Amino acid sequence: MALTKTNEREQTKVSKSPQPIRGNQGASIMGPTNPSREAENQDTLVPPSMDHGTMANMRWSFADSHMHLSEGGWGRQTTMRELPSAKEAAGVNMRLTAGGVRELHWHTAAEWAYMLKGRARITAIDQDSRAFQDDVGEGDLWYFPAGIPHSIQGLEPDGCEFLLVFDDGNFSEEATFLLSDWLAHTPKDILAKNFGVPESAFDHIPQKDLWIFQAQVPGPLSQDRVAGRGPVPNTFSHHMRAQEPIRTKGGTVRITDSSLFKASKTIASAFVEIEPGGMRELHWHPNADEWQYYISGEARMTVFAAENNARTFNFQAGDVGSVPFAMGHYIENIGSETLRFLEIFRSDHYADVSLAQWLKFTPHELVRAHLNIDESVLVKIPENKTPVVAAKAA
């Protein structure tokens, strides 16, 4: 059921200096070129013959995002400013050293996170002063609702790196409400009155925001824990990679939404692994836009936008993809290693519609009248969904 790689695709794939030539169409580039970038996106340079029309860009690389450096770590973001087709979500890639702190803060958008590497300590309180602290590692998630104050700190041995996703495409990391920024803009007599201490207690507070800063690595969580007014009703962290996945011949899928991670009310997600030659089946999502983050491997995605429009994109680790609401698409592993990526949706639940299942459960005579295909094709479609399919048998 995987797409067959055509000769025209293979020709482009193996070319050391790709040119916009497909059969007897196109011609070599005579002017300036960017060979390394063109090699990364060969299906843009030489689009499959099925691509047609004018469609918005649906790919961005964090490598092209501005890097904000600070003592203790860095951050870079991908929002609608970088990827205008991604209207419902924005992402931040952040790194903290051991002891590095993403200072106490809150947002106007909800924050969902996936731990890429390392370990971190996260803290928060809710509106009823119920406290939360946890240590998270690779493959773990956290979710903080809009307006809930929280912090992140890297742990030993080498801190952490993570992906943050916000349920607003217009989000900006620079618009975060920071503790140090607030106090630097509040009169000291007001601070003294608020906390019931002398003004001199605030003589050494920062004069500007800290954003990310270096601090001592905290001790064990058991020693650092604060009870507050009791535990939060739904934990703000979740062990996504510990979930039992949906297993297929072509790979695995782990789905995490509010039915499993109850705190995550506005973001649903899936962690997808596709083996070489396999693909995420032809499908669409009936409830939200799709925001993607590629962790490893190489991928090809063609998006169908109706009105005779379709466009193909290539992805690799560190890239972001966007699929607007209800547009049909597939994701194919075109590399030699396992493809791993996240599908993320601004929704409380995960939903997709499978093209194969649609045809399977529609009267076959009607399907054959549309597509002129043999009944033997339809009867081979599984009764159950196969979200990741293996390479076509020889």
Per-residue confidence (pLDDT) for residue 84, from 0 to 100: 97
Asked if CATH classification 2.60.120.10 holds for the domain at 65-238, the reply, yes or no, is yes
Strands of the sheet containing 339-345, edge to edge, are: 59-61, 319-323, 290-296, 339-345, 268-274, 251-256, 246-248
Domains 65-238 and 243-389 share a fold: yes
What is residue 244's predicted lDDT score, i.e. its pLDDT? 97
Supply the pLDDT for residue 219: 95
Q: Cα–chain-centroid distance for residue 124? A: 23
Contact 346, 167 (CB under 8 A): yes
Please determine, for residue 354, whether its predicted confidence score (pLDDT) is greater than 90. yes
What pLDDT, on the 0 to 100 scale, is given for residue 18? 85
Is pLDDT above 80 for 4? no
What distance, in Å, lies between the first and last C-alpha atoms of the chain? Answer: 11
Q: Kind of pairing, strands 388-389 and 328-333?
A: unpaired
Query: For a pLDDT cut of 70, what percent of the chain falls above it?
Result: 95
CA angle in degrees (0–180, nearest 5) for 248-302-42 = 110
Does 393 score more than 70 pLDDT? Answer: no
The token pair at 39 is 């090699």
Each domain of the chain, given as residue ranges in start order, spans 65-238, 243-389
Reply yes or no on whether the pLDDT at 394 is more than 80. Answer: no
Query: For residue 16, what pLDDT band results from cuts at 50, 70 and 90?
Result: low
Residues 234-241: what's their mean pLDDT?
Answer: 98
Local confidence band at 11 (pLDDT 50, 70, 90 cut-offs): very low
Which CATH number applies to 243-389: 2.60.200.20, 3.30.365.10, 2.60.120.10, 2.40.50.140? 2.60.120.10
What average pLDDT score do residues 143-155 get? 98
Predicted confidence at residue 392, as pLDDT, reads 74
> Which tens digit of pLDDT belongs to each residue from 172-211?
999 999 999 999 999 999 999 999 999 999 999 999 999 9
Across 3-17, 47-61, 101-115, 234-248, least confident range:
3-17
Rounded Cα–Cα distance for residues 77 and 389 (Å)? 32
DSSP 200: G
Q: Which of 61, 112, 59 is nearest to 323 (CA)?
A: 59
**pLDDT more than 90, % of the chain:** 92
* CA 231 remoteness from chain centre: 29
Residue 265 near residue 110 (C-beta atoms within 8 A): yes
Indicate if the pLDDT at residue 166 is higher than 50. Answer: yes
The 10s digit of each residue's pLDDT in 135-145 is: 999 999 999 99
**With 70 as the cut, is the pLDDT of residue 252 above it?**
yes
pLDDT tens for 298-336 read 999 999 999 999 999 999 999 999 999 999 999 999 999
Write the pLDDT tens digit of every residue in 71-97. Answer: 999 999 999 999 999 999 999 999 999
Summary mean pLDDT of the chain: 94
Q: What is the model's pLDDT at position 2?
A: 43
Residues tagged active-site: 343
CA gap 323, 331 in Å, rounded: 11
Q: Does residue 10 have a pLDDT over 80? A: no
pTM of the model: 0.93
Query: 14 pLDDT exceeds 70?
Result: no
The pLDDT score that the predictor gives to residue 134 is 98
Tokens of 272: 């997808």
For the cut 80, the answer to whether the pLDDT of residue 106 exceeds it is: yes
Higher-confidence position of 18 and 101? 101
Query: In the predicted model, is pLDDT for residue 391 greater than 90?
Result: no
